[in-house]
Copies of this chain bind each other. A is one copy, B any other.
Amino acid sequence: MSFTHVAIIGLGLIGGSVGLAIQQHLPGVRTSGFDRDPDVRRRAADLGLVGQMHDSAAAAVAGADLVILCVPVGAMGTAARDMAPGLGADAVISDVGGSKVAVTQALQAALPGRCIIPAHPVAGTENSGPEAGFATLFRQRWCIITPPADAPADRVAALVKLWEDLGAMVECMDAAHHDMVLAVTSHIPHLIAYTIVGTASDLEQVTRSEVIKFSAGGFRDFTRIAASDPTMWRDVFLNNSDAVLEMLDRFLADLAVMRGAISEGDGQAMFDLFSRTRSVRRSIVAFGQDDARPDFGRGDHGKDQN
């Protein structure tokens, strides 16, 4: 089987990008959409993010054989209940949320007996809203699918195929493992970035203007991540707290070791860590998950290089 009509609920960066990507890569597939914010609905319609915009979630999902919920993870249950009256009996319900155990539970509670196959495309930018979406967001990025044990194999295969058609590489794993992996590759980096940007903003000895001026020493990289959508990230931390706290405590233990090395002037401990982290970067570039150019190929360095 393959999907012929995809409904998208929530038309921000990810929902909008899904809509555009389906229209570009799968022109034979119908797309319909809804966002609970009337202003977002109007802008998304003007941008053509989906083929048909609707004024209610129930109307948007009517006739769809796949519904993708693209709302913050804390809003999944409500979004699912709102659309339920319009949902066809055989529709597959999926999502794009950054935590999977909590979202799976919320969807199963809201839609008992339905075919629910959660997913998470590991892709995004620091921008949000319907204008931030673009059709190539998922290209060469991984999408993790976390099928419950009783998910029908043909439906799972169809969802895998859909994401591959949008340019993604797909891996299936169980929801709890996803939450642990993403805690370290995404949630802790965001928490750290938000926190250090907050710390830097609150100093008395260093002015905010100095922090901004001299940010090219490394800090500016963290501000990009710390500009991500606040609602989305609040919900991720509220809905993946166990894994985040476990990974955070490991990071804090490692940071305490480095604090000790600095305090005691143990240069060897620093050199050992700083040497071995280089190879992780090389692997990420080698596996196509980042730009090989220095400084991400940023505009100010990517041109006129010697």
Interface residues of A (CB under 8 A from B): 20, 74, 98, 122-127, 132-137, 139-142, 144, 171, 177, 180-182, 184-203, 205-206, 208, 210-228, 230-231, 233-235, 237-238, 241, 244-245, 247-248, 250-252, 254-255, 258-259, 261-263, 265, 267, 270-271, 273-278, 280-284, 287, 289-291, 293-306
Contacts and interface: CB of A to CB of B under 8 A. Distances in A.
Contact of A284 (B125, B127, B220, B275): B220
Contacts of A212: 280, 283-284, 287, 289
Copies assembled: 2
A281 B227 contact: yes
Contact of A258 (B191, B201, B271): B191
B125 A226 contact: no
B301 A137 contact: yes
Contact of A185 (B193, B211, B248, B291): B211
Nearest to A135: B306
Given A136-B301, A185-B206, A230-B274, 7 more contacts: A134-B305, A185-B215, A192-B196, A194-B273, A223-B281, A227-B277, A235-B267
